[in-house]
Structures are given as structure tokens and as C-alpha cells.
Structure 1
């Protein structure tokens, strides 16, 4: 029985449970991304990053409910964009399925896809971090979502031309999310210019809070299983093989980054974190189409290509992509999307196709993947350039601020921590050190005096105060 675009009597509770959990896991990637970026960048820009990511996620989620779902998954208009049949999520049912989600409620599918739509432009925050005006940021993510994410997602995941005519393969967003955001990140880094002291640190600024970055990276790693395996839209063998392929790629890429950082200098925590995320991002498009054994092979390739692309973009071309989004997400998204053309196996996904190494060894799928990567990357690059030039003309892009003061106070009037790097000189003389120590000791004594006085007043009002005894014994000259 069909009701409009929906089918009834179809809901599988196991599949529904898994996609619900996956949706929540993907939602957790947004605060995780904020932690990860804040820990790797200056502490005086922490509030700026949190406001961009959490505020951006809220705006993008509202957009999805209003027009995003229907533009991506509505019936296609000439294969370019969806129509307005489901504007405001109208007729997206909670008690029946859709043609895009045959065993879960249509509304759950829309909710799951909303998480992808929300996080995609937020990945680019790592590229223009510490430079972009907040007004410019808001206009940018709205424009990016409207003119890049919605059309590309429709072309590949909806009823768009790349899917219907060419049957392009992108399981969880290698082209839709990582290629598009990676290309945009590279252009943002180039057009916004380098931060202060870029040459001093050779583009690799020291992290402000590595444990916070590690926490964010760990949460991203955990949530990525919902990102990839949730895209199976079922809780069966396909979800299991996707989880295994994702993990193998992540750890193999992480090992490559660890070894490379050790060869160049010392084994780096920052490197292994980025290496794991590169492996997670790169396996995203292929994870549901390959034998998990090949996840390790792809992970090794991803590790090398992402690591060396940083040397190209940042060290050779001198592009200040602050957190290497163009390499960790963009290059890996391209490599993972093309890898389907080699390693894809229909036996692991009936909706997939055999790549060059399997079946009849046809190069057709490889050609389709290459063509689609070029098209989506070029479209993202073109629209990003237009957006940035437009924004620069109306509100300006790069905030003119004291980089020692930071964006937290300049743009948001808040601080993440009760201290600032800007008020601490590079070196202290002996007199300043003594003043700080004496001030700390006196502060402690005053607090202790108040506490003991309070106790004495309550418990022993008639006896000599311990406070006065301690005061004589602890006077600091």
C-alpha cells in the first residue's frame, strides 16, 4: 500500500533502533568537532569555535526542516534539485517508510540526513579558524548549504542526474561531504591569507590544549561508526562490515601518520589524531561497498596521501588551512571515492557494483567515480569563490583584530578560561615572580583566615580564636 511517496506496513524495529542510535552519534560529532578544533588552536579563540559550530549546527538544522529535506530528497526537477513537495517536512511520515528508506520511518531518515547536512559546512571551520568574521561565517554556511550541499546531495543521494544516469557510488559522503568541504577549505585558506607567525611555525602552530583535542578526536572516532554504518539504514550484515572497514582504515592511517611524524621529528599525538580522522573520512564513501579486508589497504593509502598533501598545500604552496581540512577531509574524500572504482564488490552490497579488481574487471565504475569527483570538486570550488567574493563585498571576510587578544573577546565578549595568554609576558623577571608568589600566598592565607574564623564563630564562640593564632604564625614578610 502506498500513501503518496510513502509505503506503509514496512517498519523494521531493529533497523529503526540502529538508525536512531546512529543519528544521535552523528549529532555528537558537532561538539566533538568543537573540542578537537579548540584544543588544536589558540585558547583565546575557543569561544569563537564553539559559537561557530554549535550556532552553525542550529541554523543548518532549521534550514533542513524548512527547505533542505525537500530540495535534496524531493522529486527531482530535471535531475538538478528536488521540488517543494516536502517543504517544512510536510508529508514526511513517522508511521511509514519512503522510497529512500524502505525499512525505517521516513521522518527518521530525514532526521538522520539532517545530521549530515548540519556537519558538512562546519568541517570548513578548521580551515578559516581564527580569521573569519562571525557575520561572514553565518552568510557563508547558509550560502554553502544552499548552493553546494543541497544540489550535490541531490545529484548523488536523491533522484539527481549523477545517481539516475550514471549510478555513482558514495556510501556515506566522500563526495557529498568530504570532497566538497575539502575543496572549499583549500580555497578559504588561500583567499583569507595566512595568520600571524605562519612562517615562524611553518604553518604548524602549537596546540593550546592537547588533551581537549584528544577528547574531541576520540568522540569523533566513536561517532563515525554511526556516520558510516548508520548509512546502511539497517542493522544487518552490511552495517557490521561497514563498521569493520571503518575501523581498519582509521587505525592503519593513524599508524602511517605516527610513523611519518616519528621519521620527521618525534612521535606526535597531534599527528596520530589527524591520521585516524583522515582514515575515517577517506573510508566514508567506500565503507559500505568493499570487503573490510581492503579497508586496511585503503587506510594505508589514505595515510600517505593525506600526510604528504599537507606538505604540498601548507609547506610548499604556503596555504594556511589551519587544521588541514583540505588534506584530512578533502584529499581523503577524493581518494576514498575513487577507491570504490577499484575495490567495490557487489557481493557486499547489492546496490553496489564491482570495481576494476572484481567481477568482469570493467573500468566503467572507476570512470564514473573519477568523473563525479571532478564534477563535485569543481562545482564546490566555483561556488566557494563566488560566495567569498560576494561576502567580502558586503560585510568583509577577515576580521581586523589583534591576534594576541583573540576572537573570543573581540567578537563574542566572552572568555573560555579565566586567564589570557595576552596578559602573560614571554618572560618574567625575579621581582615579578616574587610578586606573583607573594600574591598567591597572601590570597591563600586570607581565604584560610576567613574559613577558620567562620568555624571558630560557630563552634567555639567563647574560646580564643584559632584564626588569631594562625595569623601570627603565618605572617609573610
Structure 2
């Protein structure tokens, strides 16, 4: 994603209605990804945790939106301070921005850029929630989001995309969020689960998805929304780069889904719907940083490699004993690392920038830069997220009581359940009166409720 650039007055852009409309649509598509993620995660948990999983994503829409307006946009995209953080008083409360003021160097209003970036900020902490299913207090989760976006997401977004950010200045390529979103969220998820521990019954009780149709619906909506996430990150399409990213998004996702299913068939003997959904998401994650730097053939390679490696990675939690409930580490952390590093091999130098990867004559230079970006974000997010979780756990507590976890977090935290089975099954209608003993019921043409 290109940060603001300074142009000479003679070359100053003018507002483009086409680009502005396009970016508003892309912003809406990215917003859709958060409820889509809620469906995806909600179907993967057990019945007793469905509503809590949905709410852990939805609450991010509320909390992060307010924080973004108050100070988040300023921290992420304000005037650079030491290559670490930004700050612009005009961005605080979005109060000093003119209605027709353009984002620096582009043909869209600042308001449009701000709302597009807001949707990224909303989605990122929601991604973390999948690793924490079944066991986290909702109040603690809401406070964690507040702290995490403030001290982790906003600064990292500035490093990667803000004008003057140190990773951007280094030349790290991250078109739409491989480091700032997916590695950031995946590393945070790992840091938190190492602090709060495993679910009751982990590796003993069956914890299968309760609704695979819901998982597939969520995955499909994520795939749909991801076109706005990726193609919109060029902030317009005057030069065709966004179109290339759109194509590569589709291609890599398809390749990853097929690769995951192929691995699954060879390893476990079946093609599963969960594998198809997870493989698609792995491809979307991996192409997010790389899609503006590689060709469609390169996108196939990126997707296929990510599909296999992420499928292999999801099993590591059983080997090493960390309870990543819904495979956030295996898909988002590993997928983000794979996609970011493969830029160092497959970058053509002919789309987003002139940086070339190893396979296109660029040597190891770009791969080295990508590695710095990957491991800097990973280490920072992992450590700070673990510290935040530890502090919350020692003060207000992060986990629900064990009995509450076993009985169901939905009822405990939300006083609701996702499904009402009280009327399920056959039998007489509640409006029907059974015949008296020793008599025969008279025939009737009235329907009986099931």
C-alpha cells in the first residue's frame, strides 16, 4: 500500500470521481470481511461458543472505529516522528480535514483514505479472536482490543505504510497487509495463547466445527471482500496495478485451495470442506503482501506453496502443545510469512515497483529486506501482545471460570444461545390436546407443528 507522497504544485492531482467511488466500494467490501470472519470463525467452534465467537469479531467494529477517529488515524498516518510513529493534530478526531482535501499525492479525499484504512484496523484484531475461542472473558477481550490497536497495530501500520515509517523507508514490500495485518495478528494470537493457556479438554475432547455450511459461507464472503482489501490498496487504478492485484488475488486463492486439498487427500485421505475453506483463506493471506509484485504465474506459485505449508502448520499446535483454537497461527502467521518472503523470490520488477526477486535477477537484496520486515513485526507483536495479556490476566483476569467454559461461554457472557432446540423434534403441537385414555382420536385435517 503506497503511503502519501509529495508532489510539486504543477503536478498536484485533482479529485477523481471514479477513483473516489471505487475506493468507497472497496472500503465497504473490507468492512464486510469482519462479519464474514465472524461467520467463518462462528461455524468452526462448538455450539456453546457460537455467539461469543461472532461477538468477538463484531465488537471490533465498534471499538476500533471510535479509536481510529479519536487518535488512531493520526498515529498511523500522521506526520512521521522518528520513523516509529505518526502524529498530526488535524487528524485527531478527523476535525482538521477539509471535505475536498485530497490524500497526499492521490486523487481521493483524505476522508476516503481514512475510512478505507479504518476497515483494515477493524479487521486485524478480529483475526486474533479465532485463537482464543471458548475461554476469554468478553470484557477482557474488549479491553485487550483497545490496548492492542493503540500500542501495536497503529505503530506497525505506520512502520509499513506511513510516509517515513522505517520499514517503508527500508524498501519492504507489503501491498495490502502481509506484515501489518496477518503476521501482526498471527503473532499476537500466539503471544496471547501462550499466556492464557489451553481450553479445557484440549487434545482430549472432540472440538469439531458445529456448522461447516457457516464456515463455507464465511470463507466465500471473505474471498469476495478480499478483492476490495487487495485491489483497493493501490488507492485507484489509473495505471492498472490494482487490476493486476485483483487477478492475482483470484489466482493465488484458487491455487492455495487446490494445494491444501491435495495435501489433505494425500495426508488424511479425504477432501474436506473445512480444508477447502482454510486453503482459500491461506491463499488470500499469502497473496496480500505479494500480489502487486508478482505475475499471475508467480501468484500460482505463492498460493500453492502457502496452501501446502499452512496445511502442514495447523498441526503444529498438537505437536508443541499450544492451543490455537481456529488455526490463526497456522494460517495467518504462517501465510503472512510465506507471502512476504516469497516476494524476495518472485518479484518481477514490472508491476508495483522495480524491485526484483532472486528468480528475476534481483539477487538476495529484496529477500533480505522482506525478512527484516517479517521478523521485526513478528517479534514486536508477539512480545507486546503477551505482555498485554499477562497484565490483563493478573488484574481483571482473561479467562472465564472453568465450569463456565465447560457449560458454555455464550450463556455465561451473553445470556443467550445461538440455537433454540426447544421446539425441535416431532410430537403433538402445543395447541393439541391428547385423547382421553381409552378413546381414539378423531381424524383431523389440521396440520400439527413439528
TM-score, normalised relative to structure 1: 0.85
**Residue 208 of structure 2 aligns with which residue?**
206
Distance 2:433 2:163 in 1: 68
Across the aligned residues of Structure 1 and Structure 2, the Cα RMSD in angstroms comes to 2.7
Q: 1:30 to 1:268 in 2, by over 3 A?
A: same
Q: For 1:121-136, list aligned pairs within 5 A.
A: 121-136=125-140
**Residue 255 of structure 1 aligns with which residue?**
258
**Residue 463 of structure 1 aligns with which residue?**
none
* Deviation of the 1:471 alpha carbon: 6.2
2:145 is the counterpart of 1:141: yes
Distance 1:474 1:166 in 2: 72
Distance 2:76 2:229 in 1: 18
Residues 33 and 217, structure 1, Cα contact 8 Å, conserved in 2: yes
Distance 2:138 2:164 in 1: 33
Report the structure number with the largest CA radius of gyration. 1
The superposition leaves residues 3-31 of structure 1 with CA deviations (integer Å, 9 ceiling, x where unpaired) of 9x9x9761122211211111000000111
**Residue 224 of structure 1 aligns with which residue?**
226
Q: 1:169 to 1:93 in 2, by over 3 A?
A: farther
2:112 is the counterpart of 1:108: yes
Unaligned runs of 5+ in 1: 421-435, 450-467
**Residue 3 of structure 2 aligns with which residue?**
none
The superposition leaves residues 21-71 of structure 1 with CA deviations (integer Å, 9 ceiling, x where unpaired) of 110000001111111111110122122122221122111011101101110
Q: 1:179 to 1:208 in 2, by over 3 A?
A: same
* Deviation of the 1:184 alpha carbon: 1.2
Distance 1:273 1:352 in 2: 34
* Deviation of the 1:474 alpha carbon: 11
Distance 1:419 1:404 in 2: 19
Residues 169 and 352, structure 1, Cα contact 8 Å, conserved in 2: no
Residues 162 and 372, structure 1, Cα contact 8 Å, conserved in 2: no
**Residue 390 of structure 1 aligns with which residue?**
391
**Residue 63 of structure 2 aligns with which residue?**
59
Match of 2:242 among 239, 243, 260: 239
Distance 1:474 1:30 in 2: 42
**Residue 408 of structure 1 aligns with which residue?**
410
2:379 is the counterpart of 1:378: yes
Q: For 1:23-422, list aligned pairs within 5 A.
A: 23-85=27-89, 86-99=91-104, 102-163=106-167, 165-200=169-204, 205-236=207-238, 237-263=240-266, 264-312=268-316, 314-349=317-352, 351=353, 353-358=355-360, 360-400=361-401, 401-419=403-421
Unaligned runs of 5+ in 2: 1-5, 436-440
The superposition leaves residues 125-171 of structure 1 with CA deviations (integer Å, 9 ceiling, x where unpaired) of 10001111112101111111011111111011002442453122110
**Residue 453 of structure 1 aligns with which residue?**
none
2:25 is the counterpart of 1:21: yes
TM-score, normalised relative to structure 2: 0.90
* Deviation of the 1:211 alpha carbon: 0.7
* Deviation of the 1:271 alpha carbon: 0.9
Distance 2:445 2:245 in 1: 70
Distance 1:371 1:473 in 2: 72
Match of 1:446 among 426, 432, 445: 432
* Deviation of the 1:473 alpha carbon: 11
Number of matched pairs: 432
Residues 203 and 318, structure 2, Cα contact 8 Å, conserved in 1: no
Q: Secondary structure at the match of 1:76?
A: strand
Q: 1:354 to 1:448 in 2, by over 3 A?
A: farther
Residues 49 and 129, structure 1, Cα contact 8 Å, conserved in 2: yes
